[in-house]
Structure 1
């Protein structure tokens, strides 16, 4: 068995024992290390020099990537993932050398010892414990929307309280995490807030009451998309709707002013048809 091919099949890094089981001999492995084709990562692990640095670091420190780091690597919505989050067995002293946030915990879903990246299910459980509620909910809903998890399987697992709450609250309908956060922050409002509604030929992010449309702009609202948005806004207003557009920075960093604007519109009964 060619050692490079065997490692490529395992994201560029693997246990020596795993390579042996796949047919790589000790002689072949030693030759590859001497030639610089393969590097010794740590005791029991080898990898390709160009392997994912995060996986190499995880092997060296005896941890697995998890929590928001796994979510971000799977292109799910994550509010902040500036430092790596890893998981380690409870009372694991070796993981003290790991940089970033270390989660010492017993996984809900068994971890494959051959892998250095946690399952998305275990990662979501840690997200529930680690992140603020609205940020965690956005990540959970992103996973459900992307089909990254089976909600029925999660629901039957013995989830801890924080994860169980998210399991109950999460819905796969938000088009982006910003919509989850917006809806969560206004959950106290005693007015119907309906996400992803088709109005006059276009889908709008939120319809508050009967006539108040809220659109949350992301980075893609430029060029032709922006022109289409402006045209639809004009059509909505001509048909008796009131439109409020907010940007990412406004939502995340200036929520008080956003909420004040929405409440002022409701106070003026702009959300009502008559």
Structure 2
């Protein structure tokens, strides 16, 4: 009986290895169990079919991983200005799916904020002192709920051609305007002036008109000037010019010379 059993198992293995129908192998094994006289031998279980390997999901997952690992989108600086007044102003928008609120700082009479946004159309609104508002002077639209939102179109500016930009630049100076003049020995041998030439442009040396004196230059401010032997009288004139904001104040003191 043991020989018959071993022969039946060999037949089952041969049928599976030859690639024949799986039903044939299982029926042969089942027939032997029914015909056996011994109840102690366990029934032979049908062979487990081999499932083919699936590679398609792995390829799709690899493609999705490559797409997620791609280069990030370029961020473009975008300035948003709120002209609605108020004290505490925030802004929220579709750039982060309306998940956060950013504080808008005051700049002069208005409130501004600089955001780094990706290229495209974004929707946003301001929160002025706890109230959601929009700027009617800027592009806006109404959503499905009926709320009015402002729009901003962000795109990176690229000039059409370099030639159009070069037209706005100043033309280069001609070559004839340049020279190569070597100073002579007399210019190097001259003694430097004892005082800067601008200091002689004080109020005492300027001529006054009916309209008044000319505005003093900034180089003569906060300097004390003295002039002796003024006119036929033995006088000494002292002058001092000071500036207060946009006003210029000059004080002149005349004193007789004692002999």
Shorter-normalised TM-score: what interval? under 0.3
Instruction: Determine which structure has the larger strand proportion and give its number.
Output: 2
TM-score by length of 2: 0.17
Q: For the pair shown, which has the larger CA radius of gyration, 1 or 2?
A: 2
